[in-house]
Amino acid sequence: MTKEHSPDRLDVKAFAQAGGHLSGHDTLLKYKRLAEEAQGLHPDLRVDWQADGEVRATHGIGGQIWLRLKAQATFPMICQRCLLPVDVPLAVDREFRFVADEATAEALDESSDEDLLALSREFNLRELIEDELLMELPVVPRHDECPTDVKMASSDEDFEEASADKPNPFAALAGLRKPGA
Ligand SMILES: [Zn+2]
């Protein structure tokens, strides 16, 4: 039996049991909350993602529902050092374990270093992708190396030439002093 898996209404358990794979190459405009954070939106901006479902035995218990999510995007922001646009690479690679419901996820969350989510037959995968990418946004976006201003070098040279034309005031003073005076 084959089944279409929809990223917007995913039956997580069925997806994992089928060893399902989904991927997308979405326009960033589809992710509204993320798009609001962009500085200089462009229709060519894309979010690439892959999701893999798997049933695993973990903690000695079989039949655990896992989802591995990978997402990448190049995100336009403003560099806080030079105030010019900077393309920030965002990358997510996380695994989530799905448990029976929200209450179980919350109860286990304290004691677990896993990322836990509640099982759903209509899980919105794109919402998860968006949440994860939003968390990757840097608080202070910056270039690794800001574009440098080439003009600085030539104005330094002008300054040195200008000062070479003027006599050094201390040298002039020294000239007034006569030995033995
Ligand atoms: Zn910069």
Residue 99, domain member (yes or no)? yes
Residue 155, domain member (yes or no)? no
Instruction: Please give the model's pTM, rounded to 2 decimal places.
Output: 0.77
Write the CB contacts of 91 (distance below 8 Å, at least 6 apart in sequence): 70, 71, 72, 136
Q: At residue 134, does pLDDT exceed 90?
A: yes
Ligand 1 centroid vs 43 CA: distance in angstroms?
24
Residue 169, domain member (yes or no)? no
Residue showing tokens 């403003």: 78
Ligand 1 centroid vs 71 CA: distance in angstroms?
25
Residue 5, domain member (yes or no)? no
Least confident window among 73-77, 102-106, 121-125, 130-134: 102-106
Tell me which residue of 96, 74, 94, 78 sits closest to 86, measured CA to CA.
Answer: 78
Ligand 1 centroid vs 150 CA: distance in angstroms?
15
Region 11-18: mean pLDDT is: 97
Q: Which residues constitute the domain of residue 20?
A: 12-147
Structural domain count of the chain = 1
CA pair distance 49, 24, nearest whole angstrom: 5
- Please state, as a whole number, how many other Cβ atoms lie within 10 Å of the Cβ of residue 100: 10
Ligand 1 centroid vs 94 CA: distance in angstroms?
30
Structure tokens at 44: 């060519």
Residue 83, domain member (yes or no)? yes
Looking at per-residue pLDDT, the higher value among 64 and 4 belongs to 64
Ligand 1 centroid vs 33 CA: distance in angstroms?
25
Q: Which residues surround ligand 1, an ion (CB under 5 A)?
A: 79, 81-82, 143, 146
Residue 166, domain member (yes or no)? no
Q: At residue 167, does pLDDT exceed 60?
A: no
What is the reported pLDDT for 112?
A: 82
Q: How confident is the model at residue 14 (pLDDT cuts 50, 70, 90)?
A: very high
- pLDDT tens column, 57-72: 887 888 999 999 999 9
Q: Work out whether the CA dihedral 167, 168, 172, 178 comes out positive or negative.
A: negative
